[in-house]
Amino acid sequence: MKSFKLFDSKHELMERVGEDGRSIVRIGEKKICLVLNQGEFHAFDHLCPHNQHSLLEGAINYKNEVVCPLHAYRFSLKDGSECEQRTRPLKIHSIKIENDGVFLLVKD
Ligand code: FES
């Protein structure tokens, strides 16, 4: 797991995700979705493991799953597993908000 500083403060993070609570950051070749849902930040790979559709606009349901807009596969925001194991798990990353900035911990 690698750590990347994204922002100097939580305020900058809030500005970045904006009113819709969503944004994408690029880490090298990788794009990662940042989503604010019910006061909690989530970070996960931008592309769905099933057929590489963007998950940026995927709804977050009451089970804390991101729902892919293309075929409605549902991925746990805790461990990335698809609810019916129809495809490989989504990579879930971590956001740490510290006094010296906001960090993204990216799984390899
Ligand atoms: S591309 Fe996401 S469920 Fe098929």
The structural domains of the chain, with segments of one domain joined by +, span 2-106
Report the pLDDT averaged over residues 58-77. 97
Helix (H) or strand (E) holding 10: helix 10-17
Cβ(104)–Cβ(95) below 8 Å: yes
Give, for ligand 1, the residue of 57, 71, 81, 90 to mutate: max count of ligand atoms closer than 8 Å to Cβ: 71
State pTM to two decimals.
0.95
Give, for ligand 1, the residue of 47, 53, 67 to mutate: max count of ligand atoms closer than 8 Å to Cβ: 53
Q: What angle do CA 50, 5, 54 make, to 5 degrees?
A: 20
Report the pLDDT averaged over residues 100-108. 92
Report the pLDDT averaged over residues 34-53. 96
- In the CATH scheme, what is the code of domain 2-106? 2.102.10.10
Is a pLDDT exceeding 90 seen at residue 91? yes
d(CA 58, CA 68): 5
